[in-house]
């Protein structure tokens, strides 16, 4: 199998490039092959908690060098989406960690404090310091007319303690409290892929998404109108393919098989 017409990849990270802090076999060779073939790439993840610089540092520890412009987390994607649609300097109440708050500040937004009720937008991402006060402030602003942005809809989150609630569960709580449905920026909605393609400057027909989850990475690619590779090194299995009415263009075991296909 060869993928000779690919000029760009949009690559998920967890389950594709690493598992926790363990790099997947072939990681360094994978990036060396992309550069040798002059295949552009953007790393795109639904994780909203980390900044691009934190991902750059993580990959550096694994022996891979990337630029921060080659990384888009869903927190940054939310800020970039707002930059395209919101007036400059709009006020945002964030629920989230560095990956959300830093991205909003770097893109010119003002952040509302607890119990300020004049935010133009509420942006909600994974926040491990989530509190009653943050939920109350978000609810008050949404009820006052703020627009609702969710970084990603993932309802579950794997942790060292087991499977716990993800950002989608918090979005559901706020939607129940306000009756307002959020605009989702992360996968499987196409917005993050569209932002990645703007950076890549490669036609969609020569761009391929690479991920390990059918319900986010692959469905997002389908909605964005691009081809996709499902690797079986993460969440989804071959058996899961029978449960969905869409499919990846290719199924491969891991990035080592991708290396062979793009050579």
Asked if residue 192 and residue 138 are part of one domain, the reply reads no
Provide φ and ψ at 137, rounded to 5°: -65, -40
What whole-number distance in Å separates Cα of residue 77 and Cα of residue 222? 19
Q: What is the CATH number of the domain that holds 179?
A: 3.40.50.1000
Strands (E), 60-206: 71-73, 91-95, 110-111, 121-124, 147-150, 156-159, 162-165, 183-184
Confidence at residue 132, expressed as pLDDT on a 0 to 100 scale: 98
Asked if residue 227 and residue 160 are part of one domain, the reply reads no
Asked if residue 225 and residue 143 are part of one domain, the reply reads no
Q: Looking at the domain assignment, is residue 60 inside a domain?
A: no
Asked if residue 93 and residue 31 are part of one domain, the reply reads no
**pLDDT tens figures, 11-41:** 999 999 998 889 999 999 999 999 999 999 9
Asked if residue 242 and residue 174 are part of one domain, the reply reads no
Tell me which of 12, 120, 127, 212 is the catalytic residue. 12
What is the pTM for the complete model shown? 0.91
> Among the three residues 123, 149, 184, which one is the final residue of a domain in this structure?
184
Asked if residue 180 and residue 80 are part of one domain, the reply reads yes
CA distances from 151 to 29, 54, 109 (A): 31, 18, 16
| Residue numbers of the domain that contains 201 | 8-46+187-262
Neighbour-count burial for 33-61, b at 16+ CB within 10 Å, e otherwise: bbeeeebbbbbbbbbbbbbbebbbebbee
Confidence at residue 1, expressed as pLDDT on a 0 to 100 scale: 55
CB 220 within 8 A of CB 190: yes
Is residue 98 annotated as part of the catalytic site, yes or no? no
Asked if residue 110 and residue 42 are part of one domain, the reply reads no
Asked if residue 120 and residue 40 are part of one domain, the reply reads no
Is residue 5 annotated as part of the catalytic site, yes or no? no
Confidence at residue 263, expressed as pLDDT on a 0 to 100 scale: 83
Asked if residue 210 and residue 118 are part of one domain, the reply reads no
Confidence at residue 62, expressed as pLDDT on a 0 to 100 scale: 97
Segments of the chain scoring below 70 in pLDDT: 1-2, 158
CB 141 within 8 A of CB 93: yes
Q: The tokens 């991920």 sit on which residue?
A: 211
What whole-number distance in Å separates Cα of residue 55 and Cα of residue 89? 27
- CA atoms within a 13 Å half-sphere pointing along the CA-CB vector of 82: 36
Q: Looking at the domain assignment, is residue 59 inside a domain?
A: no
Name the token pair of 98: 């560095």
Q: How many domains does the chain have?
A: 2
> Among the three residues 135, 169, 184, which one is the final residue of a domain in this structure?
184
Q: Looking at the domain assignment, is residue 66 inside a domain?
A: no
CB 96 within 8 A of CB 104: no
Q: Looking at the domain assignment, is residue 137 inside a domain?
A: yes
Q: Looking at the domain assignment, is residue 61 inside a domain?
A: no
Residues in a beta bridge with 110: 91
Confidence at residue 154, expressed as pLDDT on a 0 to 100 scale: 87
Q: The tokens 């890549």 sit on which residue?
A: 200
What whole-number distance in Å separates Cα of residue 147 and Cα of residue 82? 10
What whole-number distance in Å separates Cα of residue 87 and Cα of residue 68? 25
Confidence at residue 36, expressed as pLDDT on a 0 to 100 scale: 96
Tell me which of 5, 14, 154, 243 is the catalytic residue. 14
Asked if residue 122 and residue 23 are part of one domain, the reply reads no
What whole-number distance in Å separates Cα of residue 211 and Cα of residue 26? 16
> Among the three residues 154, 184, 214, which one is the final residue of a domain in this structure?
184
CB 138 within 8 A of CB 174: yes
Q: Looking at the domain assignment, is residue 98 inside a domain?
A: yes
Q: Looking at the domain assignment, is residue 1 inside a domain?
A: no
Residue 173: which of 246, 223, 238, 124 has the closest Cα?
124
**pLDDT tens figures, 114-156:** 999 999 999 999 999 999 999 999 999 999 999 999 999 988 8
Asked if residue 167 and residue 156 are part of one domain, the reply reads yes
Q: Looking at the domain assignment, is residue 240 inside a domain?
A: yes
């Amino acid at each position: 199998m060869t993928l000779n017409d690919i000029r760009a990849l949009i690559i998920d990270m967890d389950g594709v490039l690493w598992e926790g802090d363990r790099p997947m076999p072939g990681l360094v060779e994978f990036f060396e092959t992309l550069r040798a073939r002059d295949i552009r790439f953007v790393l795109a993840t639904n994780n909203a908690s980390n900044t691009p610089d934190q991902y750059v540092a993580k990959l550096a520890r694994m022996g891979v060098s990337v630029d921060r412009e080659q990384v888009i987390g869903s927190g940054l994607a939310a800020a970039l989406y707002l930059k395209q649609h919101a007036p400059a300097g709009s006020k945002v109440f964030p629920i989230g960690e560095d990956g959300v708050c830093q991205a909003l500040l770097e893109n010119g937004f003002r952040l509302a404090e607890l119990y300020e009720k004049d935010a133009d937008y509420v942006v909600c991402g994974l926040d491990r310091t989530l509190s009653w006060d943050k939920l109350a402030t978000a609810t008050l602003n949404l009820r006052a007319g703020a627009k609702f942005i969710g970084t990603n809809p993932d309802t579950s989150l794997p942790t060292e303690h087991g499977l716990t609630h993800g950002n989608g569960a918090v979005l559901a709580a706020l939607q129940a409290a306000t009756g307002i449905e959020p605009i989702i920026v992360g996968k499987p909605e196409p917005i993050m892929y569209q932002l990645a393609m703007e950076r890549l400057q490669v036609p969609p027909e020569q761009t391929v998404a690479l991920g390990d989850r059918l319900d986010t990475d692959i469905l997002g690619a389908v909605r964005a109108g691009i081809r996709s590779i499902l690797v079986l090194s993460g969440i989804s299995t071959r058996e899961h393919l029978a449960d969905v009415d869409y499919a990846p263009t290719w199924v491969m075991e891991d990035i080592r098989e991708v290396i062979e296909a793009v050579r």
